[in-house]
Structure 1
Amino acid sequence: MRQGVIMLLIVSLVLAACTPDFGKDEEIVQETDKSTEQAIIPKYKISDEYYRTILPFKPGKARGLVNYTVYNRLDINELETGLMRIALEHFDPEDYFFQEGQYVTSKMVEEWIGRQSEKNVEGMNPPLNEKTATTEDFRKNPKYLSHVLEHNYLKKTNDNKVELGGIAIGLAMKSVYNFNEPTMGYPREEPISLQEAEKQGKAMAQQVLQRLRNIKALDGVPIVIALFLEKPRESVVPGNYFAKAYVSGNASSISKWETINERYVLFPSQEGKDQYYDDYTRVMNFKSDIEQYFPNYVGVIGRGYYVDDQLQEMTIEIPIQFYGKAEIIGFTEYITGLMMDHFPPYITVNVYITSIDGQEALIRRNGGEEKPFVHIYR
């Protein structure tokens, strides 16, 4: 009976999700310091957690560079989505629209994240002649800053135009500095403490702010700057933002920093067991119940997102070794029931079921909602 109810829920939710009311796109005029262009604001909004994007889409001036400066793919994703999450607190998505950064170019970022030298006076990382430096020199003078990310937020005026209303800047700070030992070329690493990353990041943020204020188009524009701490390259959970500052449009210095207390925790792990035992137990019980009836699955990997040490969202990946669609449907039904039983309704839970062929099923229940969304890929 329970499986039949879940299967009906799967069908009804998928059908409901496929028929949104998109309405009619809104035509507006986008003004910049150089031109006036026709643009479109999409009528349909995915959720209150996302901004609508001005069309036609304008690629950022530093687009793609992050793939060469930040080495962990999870960090890259969180650097961007986390910055959007911070922007929500200052630029209401009901009034503002998203656009990739149009003012900080690839050349500027490459100069800023480079070492300061006679050839690169814009470099913000410590000066060091890497051709003659010793291992100890590298350890004492690590590169702290690895990337500068820019997001633009546009707002609509009374005469049906949009203009730049705010900027968000994310500075990606290293937690581990990787370098090659100078004589033999062996890979080496130097850990960087949060305290040191914070000290260096706040000093660099002030430099970035002053440089942005020298751009004529950004005069009078509010700017949010946030500091992101990367995880080591091999980490299976992303890093997190740990500090932010809001600078009003008429200010050219940062007067106040706010601490951001958020983090991602891997389950199962010793860290999860030691610091979040209740959540660790939920994941382990969830895993144990799967093992009772489905021996062909590979395992459970969970990532908990915490704000102020309170679990906000749990994302679980379940690799499987099934061979038929009927088996996948049955497994998804069973997992949906287990998810509802093991995780309290105030927590957002995402379950991704995958195989060697790719994504097989998605189960999601938003915090505060009673029913999950279930989709089985065809």
Structure 2
Amino acid sequence: MKKISLIGMTLLLLLSGCAPQFDKQEEVVQKTEKSKEKAIIPKYKISDQYYRTILPFEPSESRGLVVSNLNTRYDVNEMEMGLMRIAQQNFDAEKYLFKEGQYLDSKTTRSWLNRKYTAAQLKDKKMKESENLGLNPVDTGKGDIHKRNKENPIYLSHILEHNYMVKNGEESVALGGVVIGLALNSVHYYQKEEFGAVYDTKIPHDEMEREGKKIAQEVLVRLRKMDDLKDVPITIALYEQAPRSSVVPGHFFAYTNVGKGSTQIRDWEKVNEEYVLFPSTEAEEKHRDDVTFFKNFKQDVEKYFPNYNGVVGRAYYVDDQLQDVNITIPIQFYGKSEAIGFTQYVTGLVMEHFPDYISVQVSVTSVYGPEALIVRKPDQKEPFVHIYQ
């Protein structure tokens, strides 16, 4: 018998896949160089995979920039969640507490994302050399615009900061570490004139990685000049942003952990993860066996609606091994009973076609919004099914 449950339980399954840990709520003092404030550590820890968040929630000083600086909503979500995964390599989720970044405000972030200015450009803008903080290459504005942008593209598109707090005694918490994500362009977009046509130039991965690591070193030096960040561990991760036309997100490909007080990056850890669209040419070339599972599933879904072929999947790989598949099925229903019948049919297909060792999530939607959610975790005998009312 398939299980139909409440939305709250749906969220629980999506976030954890295991029972939440209920611990006592604590009130502590949050210390910085300049102030002491009362804060609360929540009593509920949803999963070992996620950090507790310090309350009251303090939004980042640069909140909102992520939406305008990244190409797609897929990158917005993945950069945030991917950075948390990387943080866990150095900051144990049992020990550390999450807080949005408080040190890079909007003004600072924007200035770092600029191009570096020439002396003449600084004079025109009536700026001081101390304000010339752009981390992207100079564009002199002279010569062929296509050649200029190809030779000196904008590499850095966004900077995301996360802070990790740690208990400092029984009744206080203090900053225990900082994690920085640098979003790098795989494609640079530019215009000849404002509101004009948009052109693009691809950035080879090797070039993007080389320039990203240079930028990371400079970011580290600047962070160390901030009073609160002089002597805390800092992790910096590099994220390859997907093109604007992509329907899957980009991915992190490298990170470095820098010890307390150090101003020098000595080595990098490789991150081998990616998202692949099912079906697609890339999937056929790189993951033929996995695509076969999906194709068989898709064909059986289309037997229910013979003239429909809108089933798409987003597959997540770590070290070239499939971890999970997130499938969307947009469909037009004529009644709730039809939606229920279709969901039951698809649930059976999920159990039949996909290997036990991967996680599968299927979202069934219509023009009226979400209709059903099916979640099958690895080695789970019974899938979770929710019909939206």
The TM-score with structure 1 as length reference comes to 0.93
Residue 184 of structure 1, CA deviation: 10
Q: Could you tell me which residue of structure 1 aligns to residue 338 of structure 2?
A: 327
Residue 281 of structure 1 pairs with residue 292 of structure 2: yes
Residue 371 of structure 1, CA deviation: 2.7
Contact 1:14 1:375 in 2 (8 A): no
Q: Could you tell me which residue of structure 2 aligns to residue 38 of structure 1?
A: 38
For residue 299 of structure 1, what is the amino acid of its counterpart?
A: G
* 324-333 or 203-212: bigger deviation: 324-333
* 53-62 or 354-363: bigger deviation: 354-363
Contact 1:297 1:322 in 2 (8 A): no
Q: Could you tell me which residue of structure 2 aligns to residue 229 of structure 1?
A: 240
CA pair 39-288 structure 1, distance change in 2 beyond 3 A: same
Residues 111-190 of structure 1: pairs in structure 2 closer than 5 A? 111-117=111-117, 118=122, 119=127, 120-130=131-141, 134-181=145-192, 185-190=196-201
Residue 66 of structure 1, CA deviation: 1.3
For residue 199 of structure 2, what is the amino acid of its counterpart?
A: R
Q: Distance in 1 between matches of 2:142 and 2:53?
A: 45
For residue 374 of structure 1, what is the amino acid of its counterpart?
A: V
CA RMSD of aligned residues (A): 2.2
Residue 23 of structure 1, CA deviation: 5.8
CA deviation string 1:270-290 (max 9, x = no partner) = 111111011111111001111
Contact 2:322 2:358 in 1 (8 A): yes
Structure 2, unaligned runs of 5 or more:
14-18
Q: Distance in 1 between matches of 2:333 and 2:20?
A: 33
Q: Could you tell me which residue of structure 2 aligns to residue 88 of structure 1?
A: 88
CA pair 130-360 structure 1, distance change in 2 beyond 3 A: farther
CA deviation string 1:304-360 (max 9, x = no partner) = 101111001111011011121111111111111111111112111111111111111
Residue 367 of structure 1, CA deviation: 2.3
Higher relative contact order at CA 8 Å, sep ≥6: structure 1 or structure 2? 2
**Which residue among 360, 371, 375 is the counterpart of 1:364?**
375
Q: Could you tell me which residue of structure 1 aligns to residue 106 of structure 2?
A: 106
Report SS of the residue matched to 1:360. strand
Q: Distance in 1 between matches of 2:193 and 2:224?
A: 39
Report SS of the residue matched to 1:143. coil
Q: Could you tell me which residue of structure 2 aligns to residue 211 of structure 1?
A: 222
Contact 2:116 2:137 in 1 (8 A): yes
The TM-score with structure 2 as length reference comes to 0.90
Structure 1, unaligned runs of 5 or more:
none
For residue 205 of structure 1, what is the amino acid of its counterpart?
A: A
Residue 377 of structure 1 pairs with residue 377 of structure 2: no
CA deviation string 1:184-205 (max 9, x = no partner) = 9432111001100000000000
Aligned residues between the structures: 372
Q: Distance in 1 between matches of 2:9 and 2:57?
A: 29
For residue 189 of structure 2, what is the amino acid of its counterpart?
A: N
**Which residue among 234, 242, 267 is the counterpart of 2:253?**
242
Contact 2:373 2:387 in 1 (8 A): yes
* 28-37 or 78-87: bigger deviation: 28-37
CA deviation string 1:85-141 (max 9, x = no partner) = 101111111111111000011111111110001345210101113476632112211
**Which residue among 303, 310, 313 is the counterpart of 2:321?**
310
Residue 71 of structure 1, CA deviation: 2.1
Q: Distance in 1 between matches of 2:366 and 2:195?
A: 42
For residue 206 of structure 2, what is the amino acid of its counterpart?
A: Q
Contact 1:298 1:318 in 2 (8 A): no
Report SS of the residue matched to 1:142. coil
For residue 10 of structure 1, what is the amino acid of its counterpart?
A: I
CA deviation string 1:207-229 (max 9, x = no partner) = 00000000010121101100001
For residue 78 of structure 1, what is the amino acid of its counterpart?
A: E
For residue 233 of structure 1, what is the amino acid of its counterpart?
A: R
CA deviation string 1:207-265 (max 9, x = no partner) = 00000000010121101100001111010010000111000113111000111111110
Q: Distance in 2 between matches of 1:183 and 1:132?
A: 18
